[in-house]
Amino acid sequence: MRERARVVTVVAAVDCGTNSIRLLISDISSAADTPGAAGVAKADLVREMRIVRLGQGVDRTGRLDEAALERTLAACAAYARTISDHGAAVTRFCATSATRDATNAAVFSDAVRHLFGVPPDVLTGGEEAALSYAGATRDLSGLRGPLLVADVGGGSTELVVGTGQQVEAAVSLDIGSVRMTERHLKDDPPTPAQVQACRHDIDAALDGCGLDLATVRSFVGVAGTVTTLAAHAFGLGRYDSMRIHHATVTLRALAASCADIVAADVDRRKAMPFMHPGRADVIGGGVLIVQALAARLSGLRTSEMVASEHDILDGIAWSLA
């Protein structure tokens, strides 16, 4: 039997968020005689993340900070060299909440165009939600639908309800780990009053999100806040993406991990062996978002969360297939 010819293209995806910037370089291969998604496979070559905090202060000032720009563009220059070294045929650079909100985003966009040869796609909240869902669900199977995919970022949180790979409803909320921490959690550890004020903002956003969570049968969480919480719930001695990817955490265990991390000061968080040091000072705001979601879902049709290491970054790569 003749083996079908496969066409292989190296693609590069960059996700530039409020807290981190990430790079994924993948081989996208497709059977030459099989059109559509069924004939496409992805093999990852490089997956890298740097904490640059591009969105530092944006919630307060509406502008990208000069030091934050310098940090982020240094990471961009390194990523551009890596992409060139791997001979990527196409690159897509996506920017999210911080860049959407900043009045001086054009400075950043011009620099990105110079470094990568392509302008950044400044995603709308809806586009961000759809890519997050695509990345999280492409390699998921066996979960009952409808699914809720929650992507808790630094500046925003995307909530997407869908069945299989089909999005049915999506919303992007202006609540995220950096935004909520900078706005409310000013002490270390935060005071009960600060935590309550943060919860009030989060609950107001969730109350007005327009999604019917009562229909959700399965809950999938993505991005750094969620995966760090999963590592905490499992008591990992180091961060282990293989252990976390597609692992199941009960909502009860998730709530306990949320409570412990929120109550901890930054030094204790940094001492947690799975905690990225660049996340320790802002994870409290993200944890409170996850805690609020878990509380709303716990009395409904699901009692657990599936943590996924695949998210918007993978969605960007798949969009280049």
Express each pLDDT in 233-246 by its tens digit. 999 999 999 999 99
Domain match, 207 and 65 both? no
Residue 146 lies in a domain: yes
Residue 93 lies in a domain: yes
Average pLDDT over residues 102-114: 94
CATH of the domain at 285: 3.30.420.150
Task: Give the integer Cα–Cα distance in Å for 43 and 60.
Answer: 40
Q: Which two tokens stand for residue 105?
A: 């985003």
CATH of the domain at 101: 3.30.420.40
Range of the domain at 193: 141-313
Domain match, 304 and 179 both? yes
Residue 130 lies in a domain: no
> Angle at the Cα of 202 (from 164 to 178), degrees rounded to 5?
90
Single residue among 122, 155, 186 that ends a domain in this structure: 122
pTM of the model: 0.90
Residue 321 lies in a domain: no
Residue 178 lies in a domain: yes
Tell me the C-alpha to C-alpha distance, in Å, between residue 287 and each of 77, 150, 193, 297, 310: 31, 12, 16, 15, 19
Domain match, 14 and 115 both? yes
Residue 319 lies in a domain: no
Q: How many helices (H) and strands (E) does the chain have?
A: 13, 11
Residue 188 lies in a domain: yes
Domain match, 297 and 148 both? yes
Domain match, 182 and 102 both? no
Q: What is the mean pLDDT of the chain?
A: 92
Single residue among 69, 89, 122 that ends a domain in this structure: 122
Domain match, 228 and 184 both? yes
Rg (CA), the chain: 19
Instruction: Give the total number of structural domains in the chain.
Output: 2
Instruction: For residue 58, give the nearest of 43, 46, 69 by alpha carbon.
Output: 69
Domain match, 263 and 189 both? yes
High-pLDDT (> 70) share of the chain, %: 95
Tell me the C-alpha to C-alpha distance, in Å, between residue 18 and each of 11, 74, 287: 23, 16, 16
Q: Which two tokens stand for residue 83?
A: 């992409």
Domain match, 157 and 245 both? yes
pLDDT of amino acid 31: 52
Domain match, 146 and 225 both? yes
Domain match, 180 and 108 both? no
Domain match, 13 and 65 both? yes
CB within 8 Å of 39: residues ≥ 6 apart: 30, 31, 33
Confidence of residue 40 (pLDDT cuts 50, 70, 90): confident
Q: Are strands 166-173 and 157-163 parallel, antiparallel or unpaired?
A: antiparallel
Q: How far apart are the first and last CA of the chain?
A: 27
Domain match, 99 and 241 both? no
Q: Each residue of 172-213: pLDDT tens digit?
A: 999 999 999 999 999 999 999 999 999 999 999 999 999 999
| CB-based contact 225:287 (threshold 8 Å) | yes
Residue 131 lies in a domain: no
Task: Give the integer Cα–Cα distance in Å for 232 and 286.
Answer: 14
Task: Give the integer Cα–Cα distance in Å for 47 and 22.
Answer: 7
Answer whether residue 300 shows pLDDT above 80. no
